[in-house]
Amino acid sequence: MIAGILFGLAAQTATYTFRVENPAEARVEARLVLAELAADTQPIQLTMPQGFAFFQLPEPRLDGPVRRVGEGPEVARKGPYSWSVDPAGASEVVLEWSVPLDHRSLDGVRGRDEYEYPYLRKDHGMLVMATLALVPGEREAHTAKLPIRVDFAVPDGWQVEAPWPRGEDGTYHPATLADVRDDLVAIGAWDTHASEVNGFAVTFAFSPGQEKLKAGVVERAAPIVAGMIEHFGGKVQDSYLVLFGEPQPGGYGGSPKTNSMTLFVAPDLPVDFALEGIVHLIAHEFHHTWMRARCQPVDELRFLAEGFTDYFAYFIPWRIGMQDDAAFRATLQQQLAKAELAHRGAGMSMQQAGGPQFFEGGPAHDLVYSGGLVLGLWLDLALRQPPEGTQAATLEDLLRSFYNHPRWQDEPCAELEHLLADLHALGREDLAKRVQQLTGSAQPIDWVAAFAELGVELERQLVPAALEVRANFDGTTITAIDPAGTGGRLGLRAGDTLLEVNGTDVMNAAEIREAFEWLIDGGFAITFERDGKRRMLAEPRPEDVVYSLPAAAIHALRDS
């Protein structure tokens, strides 16, 4: 029975209240009432979620301890993210705690990945439930259904957009505690738009400063969602909430949750350029909802979770006509080059790259994404060429078999052996063996040879790198730099102050970019300051790897 699974209780309800009284204080007061407890209830274990963001804090942000209201033993803290409370025969346990929403000001959070954390401004805010919710029971049992009520007390005139069913009394009713611990909620002055796509309800909410994106996002997102639902073989949930949070520098990014996702777009990006990136971002993050509704892949399978996902984030917009053949082909060619460079830089296999190194960024991260994407392309083409006596299939067929398999109901932990078993089930033992070889190789994969196995004549050549620094500057100091660009590959990094480039004293970004084109004996000579010390760099012009994928391969993806 549910109660026994969750807390060792005979019956219970969980009622949460999250209160924002003064936005200027940037604080949420939280309250949890566990009711209808049996007299013999054992101590209840409680946790706050970890691992919900790319950057993880050593402990949750709390102002003071978790407090028990009323009589009974106090709450005992068992670890940074865990607590215990003994009901001691009480039929109800009431807990209160306070969360300061200052996460985005913290070292490590502040900057590129802060969009995954909550914030509160004078007119609106984004609540990340993982930073607010104290959840009873073991994590494995959080998907069990039980009566849950969640109420948000916000300032007068503020709206609430939460991704759960809402009762007539205004309270929300998440299906499981997993939803409570995982989702996102918008409060205050968000501009919203609700759509229905093939019986699936999706709400887009735009924070102040993101309204300019609304028309373009709504127009483009609906066909992507429809294409993804068809790709999944049917909807995996009834509704979803998409939040475009507070603008921040750094391009764009996104993070999916169970019933919601957060996206950000830098305020200085041209709208058309931003929308092009958002199309891919929405496709990628929405594809993750399929996985999240079914299973959780282990690190060694991250090439599937991220790489195959990214493949379909390009494939689906192309299939539904939002991208033409030339653009899709160009993307795949770029990813082939990126996969090779990442594998050389990582010095490890695709399986290994999904481990802790992935979260450090750099080559391991790129190997998972680009290497996994290229493997997805290779496997898609290979499945469409069955040996005699075997039926043709696609990567889409394989993922439907993988994600929609009933095995996840008992054990949601997805491993490489499950993917290989599904290839065996399709009669492709040959591909199961090859996938294991390719993903287990620490040596860079020879993709020309791998595609030749499929009759695809992939061309590879080296060309001189572009004479572009690909960096942003404050004066002559680099504030951000593309590590894959020529400047980054020469060894320049953020914080460097350039003094002389190729024999020319430079005073601003324009002079740097101009001097970057004036090579000295075919190479670069750069004088700069780093950490207060004057340094010199003398390097030959880098070479870029360029791949050419035959148009016939694109036609094969459409025609078979």
What is residue 482's predicted lDDT score, i.e. its pLDDT?
85
Mark whether 471 and 533 lie in a shared domain. yes
Closest C-alpha to 96, from 7, 181, 15: 15
**Residues paired with residue 256 on neighbouring β-strands, in sequence order:** 261
Mark whether 156 and 204 lie in a shared domain. no
| pLDDT band (50, 70, 90) for residue 258 | confident
Closest C-alpha to 60, from 26, 18, 102, 115: 102
Mark whether 236 and 318 lie in a shared domain. no
Q: Is residue 185 part of a domain?
A: no
Closest C-alpha to 240, from 267, 271, 217, 262: 262
Given a cut of 90, is residue 237 above it in pLDDT? no
Mark whether 23 and 169 lie in a shared domain. yes
Q: Is residue 115 part of a domain?
A: no
Mark whether 16 and 75 lie in a shared domain. yes
| CATH code, 533 | 2.30.42.10
Query: What confidence tens digit (pLDDT) does each residue in 487-509 have?
Result: 999 999 999 999 999 999 999 99
Q: Is residue 118 part of a domain?
A: no
In this structure, are strands 413-414 and 296-297 parallel, antiparallel, or unpaired?
A: parallel
| CATH code, 96 | 2.60.40.3650
Closest C-alpha to 96, from 176, 27, 165: 27
What is the reported pTM? 0.81
Q: How many domains does the chain have?
A: 4
Of 21-35, 215-229, 523-537, where does mean pLDDT reach its minimum?
Answer: 215-229
| CATH code, 263 | 1.10.390.10
| pLDDT band (50, 70, 90) for residue 256 | confident
Q: Is residue 69 part of a domain?
A: yes
Mark whether 515 and 424 lie in a shared domain. no
What is residue 110's predicted lDDT score, i.e. its pLDDT?
84
What is residue 53's predicted lDDT score, i.e. its pLDDT?
80
Q: Which of 160, 179, 198 is the last residue of a domain?
A: 179
- Position 393: which residue type? A
Mark whether 428 and 348 lie in a shared domain. yes
- Position 274: which residue type? A
**Residues paired with residue 334 on neighbouring β-strands, in sequence order:** none
Q: Is residue 266 within 8 Å of 114, Cβ to Cβ? A: no
Three-state secondary-structure class, residue 209: coil
Query: What confidence tens digit (pLDDT) does each residue in 121-164 have?
Result: 999 999 999 999 999 976 655 556 678 999 999 999 999 999 99
What is residue 8's predicted lDDT score, i.e. its pLDDT?
47
Three-state secondary-structure class, residue 78: strand
Mark whether 76 and 15 lie in a shared domain. yes
Given a cut of 60, is residue 11 above it in pLDDT? no
Q: Is residue 106 within 8 Å of 40, Cβ to Cβ? A: no
d(CA 558, CA 560): 6
- Cα atoms found within 13 Å of the Cα of residue 294, Cβ hemisphere only: 20
Q: Which of 288, 313, 346 is the last residue of a domain?
A: 288
Question: What is the rounded end-to-end Cα distance, in angstroms, of the chain?
Answer: 48
CA dihedral 37, 43, 44, 45 (to 10 degrees): -170
Mention every residue, 6+ apart, whose C-beta is less than 8 A from residue 542: 464, 465, 486, 489, 490
Domain span including residue 352: 295-458+547-559
Residue 305's φ and ψ, nearest 5 degrees, are -60, -35
Mark whether 470 and 446 lie in a shared domain. no
Q: Is residue 172 part of a domain?
A: yes
d(CA 547, CA 335): 9
Q: What is the DSSP letter of 305?
A: I
Q: Is residue 507 within 8 Å of 524, Cβ to Cβ? A: no
Element (H, E) at 413: strand 413-414
Mark whether 451 and 477 lie in a shared domain. no
Query: CA 332 from chain center: how many Å?
Result: 21
Query: What confidence tens digit (pLDDT) does each residue in 307-317 have?
Result: 999 999 999 99
d(CA 31, CA 152): 11
Mark whether 155 and 63 lie in a shared domain. yes
| pLDDT band (50, 70, 90) for residue 553 | very high
- Position 207: which residue type? S
CA dihedral 519, 525, 526, 531 (to 10 degrees): 150
d(CA 30, CA 17): 6
Mark whether 83 and 203 lie in a shared domain. no
CA angle 511, 483, 365 (to 5 degrees): 165
Q: Which of 255, 288, 321 is the last residue of a domain?
A: 288
- Cα atoms found within 13 Å of the Cα of residue 316, Cβ hemisphere only: 29
